[in-house]
Structure 1
Amino acid sequence: MLDLHCSHQTLCDSLALKSKKMATKTSSLMERSITTVINTFHQHSRKEGNDDTLSKKEFKEMVKTDLATFLKKEKRNERLINDIFEDLDTNQDNQLSFEECMMLMAKLVFACHEKLHENNPRGHDHSHGKGCGK
């Protein structure tokens, strides 16, 4: 079973490098999407402070730039972004670990799936609506 929490930085760096090499060769769309989520998290987390966590400022920037369509209302409301941050920050250290941030991604994927099924019956041969964030 794959350990989702790397405790040793060298191992994490090695896995990230393998992931990047694999993503350019034969990875599936889902695997490339996972790599994109990881890379996007680190694109923001490396801007200040700890490279492996998002500060509130980094989180706000990520929401406003990379989740702008999915979180339209929240993007324009600092208080809502702060509330989301505080809900995700389960250990209350004013930083979001990758694991804490992935709770938001999981909730967004679930909410998007539910939205796709709005006015579209489920079951065999079901269809999805127009998409999320629209």
Structure 2
Amino acid sequence: MTQLETAMAILMKTFDTYAAADGNKGSLSKGEAKTMLEKELPGLLKAAKNQAEVDKLLGGLDFNGDSEVDFSEFVVLVAALTCACHGRCKK
């Protein structure tokens, strides 16, 4: 596989691993999303000044308001964080 194909496979595997924790493989509950952030993005959580910032981030992931994070919302998070880390996003 190419590097990009590998990256895509890793994103899918990561989402599926955490989404499967409560039995609903189609989305991340708030608890699953928090666990994923803690294990997969520990540097991001360390940079957060307080728990309210983390809760705001988690709430911001749920674009459609269903109290869960589906794969599309997860991919948007990863893309936004990647842009921010790469310095190409304006905000």
1:66 maps to what in 2? 40
Equivalent position amino acid for 1:104 in 2: L
From the CA coordinates, give the structure whose radius of gyration is larger.
1
Q: How far is 1:87 from its partner?
A: 1.2
Matching of residue 78 in structure 1 with residue 46 in structure 2: no
User: Please, which of 62, 68, 78 is the counterpart of residue 105 of structure 1?
Assistant: 78
TM-score where L is the length of structure 2: 0.85
Gaps of 5+ in 2: none
- C-alpha change, 1:77 and 1:39, in structure 2 (3 Å) is farther
Which consecutive segments of 4 or more residues in structure 1 shift more than 4 A?
A: none
1:33 maps to what in 2? 7
Larger relative contact order (CA 8 Å, sep ≥ 6) = 2
Q: How far is 1:103 from its partner?
A: 1.2
Equivalent position amino acid for 2:4 in 1: M
2:65 maps to what in 1? 92
Q: How far is 1:36 from its partner?
A: 0.4
Q: How far is 1:50 from its partner?
A: 1.6
1:53 maps to what in 2? 27
- Percent same amino acid at aligned positions? 31
More helix by share: 2
Aligned residues: 88
Q: How far is 1:70 from its partner?
A: 4.0
Distance (Å, rounded) in 2 between the aligned partners of 1:102 and 1:52: 13
Gaps of 5+ in 1: 1-26, 116-134
